[in-house]
Amino acid sequence: MRNAHLKYQCYPSVVCVGKETEVTVFPRDISRRFRDDREYELVVVGLREDQLDYHAHVALDHPCTVQDGCLKFTYLFDREQEYSIRFAEKGGSEVKISLYAVKEDLYGLRPLKGDLHSHTFYSDGQDGIAMTPADYREEGFDFVSITDHNRMYPSQLAAELYKDIPLGLHLMTGEEVHTPGSLVHIVHAGGKESVCDRYIRNRETYNAEVAEIAKGLSHVPEQYRERVAMAHWACQKIHEAGGLAIYAHPFWCPNRYNVSEELGDLMFEEKIFDAFELVGGAPVNPQLAIWQEYALRGNRLPVVGSSDSHDHDYAKRKSFARRFTVVFAKENTTEAILDAIRGGYSLAAEIPADSDSDIHFYGAPLRLVLFAKFIWENYFNETWRLCLGEGILMRRYAEGEEVGDLLAAMQPTVENFYKRFYGLVPAPVVSEARKAFLDHCLEVQRNVGPITKGSNLYIYGGNERRE
């Protein structure tokens, strides 16, 4: 449920199950502040609770008070689900907003939106290392890994370019690994050193190490043994570098699928990858099906969503921004993001090409999908707006303008909203000075403003219409 009335917001909007919590309904359009001289009614409705009649009237009977221009109530949220907060001035129209209660393991994690697979013109992309991060921040991303083919240094150069200014966007190292002799694509995200450099600079050592791994794969059909050994080698080296090994788009089809049916089965059965790129670089349906099939066999890989973007032209921007990963991590750092994915706290996401409001989340468990839907509608919908200005300034920085001070001033905005959204800082209030000004505005309206409807003037003065 998207907040139906964006002029109000719950603080906190995410609460911990089993804890009695004071909730503040804050009028974001403070001209709509709650007034001490009026009566208000409220009810809390859990959306997954049992019912016999979905048309039945729900009484607004939960206690609430007005304080500092806000509506406040206390409630014990006893199960993990979305709650609809419904309130009204007595006799007035009902307003619905939402909050979500999660169990303690999920409450301690921060929602992050990111892309773990993207390219620049340092391999076969169209954009450089300066503009690419700006493109992502402008679209509301919290992290991105530039993963050019067979090279990590573009991602390192991007971090170097922006190292002297504070960013809300986390730039993660990365590369797309193409072991010589295999068409299996493996994304390496977050490692401290390049794996590709090993086979580029020392092919003989690479060949010898792959051959040694192959000796231990007698259970693999000979036709595929060397290529399976190559995948083992790549994942081992990625892990040695501290990175995440992602099995990428086995249903990419330049001529035929880049991974055959038999080899694809072996990639899952060997259990060497940390995550599966369920969204990105290929149609979702077959990738979802094979992931589900192996999950039923007891090999459920964590999932990620990626754009595999090669072009960020303005007219095509929605294309790269429509596929991404949602991660629930302890913080926006490489280590925390990778740990969260390994632990199963990630989902692949896709916004259909013909929609700007619908979104599909892929992965499991259900509790994560339901929470991600709420976060998308009520949290990312807001942080995207906060990131927009930062992305524009990053673009100006990439063009050579001295905007570091402006970026430094903007950098805490998403962090501050996150803390407020999760109740980690006190809820906002309508200040006394602002309330006095609004009272003055209302007095002017009542005593000076005309009663009007459209262009028709009915009477001057004595306007009893409430603000």
pLDDT tens digit sequence for 425-458 = 999 888 888 888 888 887 777 777 666 666 665 5
Secondary structure letter of residue 149 according to DSSP: B
d(CA 126, CA 311): 5
pLDDT given for residue 451 in this prediction = 66
* pLDDT confidence bin for 2, thresholds 50/70/90: very low
Question: 201 is written with which tokens?
Answer: 């600079």
Q: Left, alpha or beta for 36 (phi > 0: left; psi -120 to 50: alpha)?
A: alpha
Q: Is the pLDDT of residue 124 over 70?
A: yes
pLDDT given for residue 457 in this prediction = 59
Q: With contact defined as beta carbons under 8 Å apart, do 165 and 408 qualify? A: yes
The 10s digit of each residue's pLDDT in 183-223 is: 999 999 999 999 999 999 999 999 999 999 999 999 999 99
Mean pLDDT of the chain: 91
The closest alpha carbon to 145, from 256, 262, 243, belongs to 243
391 burial (CB, 10 Å; 0-12 / 13-18 / 19+) is buried
Q: Is the pLDDT of residue 372 over 80?
A: yes
Q: Which residue has the tokens 């570091």?
A: 404
pLDDT given for residue 461 in this prediction = 52
Q: Is the pLDDT of residue 159 over 80?
A: yes
d(CA 247, CA 185): 7
* pLDDT confidence bin for 304, thresholds 50/70/90: very high
Helices 222-240 and 203-215 pack at an angle, to 10 degrees, of 120
**H/E element, 10:** strand 8-11
pLDDT given for residue 466 in this prediction = 45
d(CA 21, CA 12): 9
The 10s digit of each residue's pLDDT in 43-83 is: 999 999 988 888 888 889 999 999 999 999 999 999 999 99
The closest alpha carbon to 113, from 415, 332, 344, belongs to 332
* pLDDT confidence bin for 233, thresholds 50/70/90: very high
> For the residues 240-246, what does the mean pLDDT come to?
98
pLDDT given for residue 260 in this prediction = 94
Question: 101 is written with which tokens?
Answer: 């209660």
111-399 has which fold? TIM Barrel (3.20.20)
Higher pLDDT, 306 or 354: 306
**Size of the chain in residues:** 467
Q: Is the pLDDT of residue 254 over 60?
A: yes
Question: 385 is written with which tokens?
Answer: 């707006």
CATH class of 8-107+424-459: mainly beta
d(CA 238, CA 358): 35
Q: Is the pLDDT of residue 283 over 90?
A: no
285-288 long-range CB contacts below 8 Å, 24 or more apart?
286/251, 287/249, 287/250, 287/251, 288/362
Q: What does the longest C-alpha to C-alpha distance in the chain come to? A: 94
pLDDT given for residue 181 in this prediction = 94
Q: Is the pLDDT of residue 250 over 50?
A: yes
Output the 3-class SS for 290-336. HHHHHHHCCCCCCEEECCCECCCCHHHHHHHHCEEEEEEECCCCHHH
Q: Domain extents for the chain?
A: 8-107+424-459, 111-399
Question: Lowest mean pLDDT: which of 287-291, 359-363, 448-452?
Answer: 448-452
Cα separations (Å) of 367 from 218, 374, 377, 379?
41, 11, 16, 17
Q: Positive or negative CA dihedral for 213, 215, 221, 227?
A: positive
Regarding beta strands 244-248 and 275-279, do their DSSP bridges make them parallel or antiparallel, or are they unpaired?
A: parallel
Q: Is the pLDDT of residue 467 over 70?
A: no
Question: 184 is written with which tokens?
Answer: 């299996």
Burial 7-36 (b: 16+ CB within 10 A, else e): ebbbbbbbbbbeeebebbbbbeebeebbbe
Question: 12 is written with which tokens?
Answer: 């906190």
The closest alpha carbon to 80, from 285, 406, 370, 389, belongs to 370
SS3 121: coil
pLDDT given for residue 228 in this prediction = 98
Question: 11 is written with which tokens?
Answer: 């603080």
* Bridge partner list, 86: 43, 96
Q: Is the pLDDT of residue 1 over 80?
A: no
Output the 3-class SS for 394-415. HHHHHCCCCCHHHHHHHCHHHH
Higher pLDDT, 159 or 53: 159
The closest alpha carbon to 320, from 351, 288, 362, belongs to 351
| Residue 39 identity (one-letter amino acid) | E
Question: 41 is written with which tokens?
Answer: 């009614």
pLDDT given for residue 319 in this prediction = 80
- Order the strands of the 275-279 sheet from edge to edge: 174-177, 185-189, 244-248, 275-279, 303-305
Task: Indicate the pTM of the whole model.
Answer: 0.92
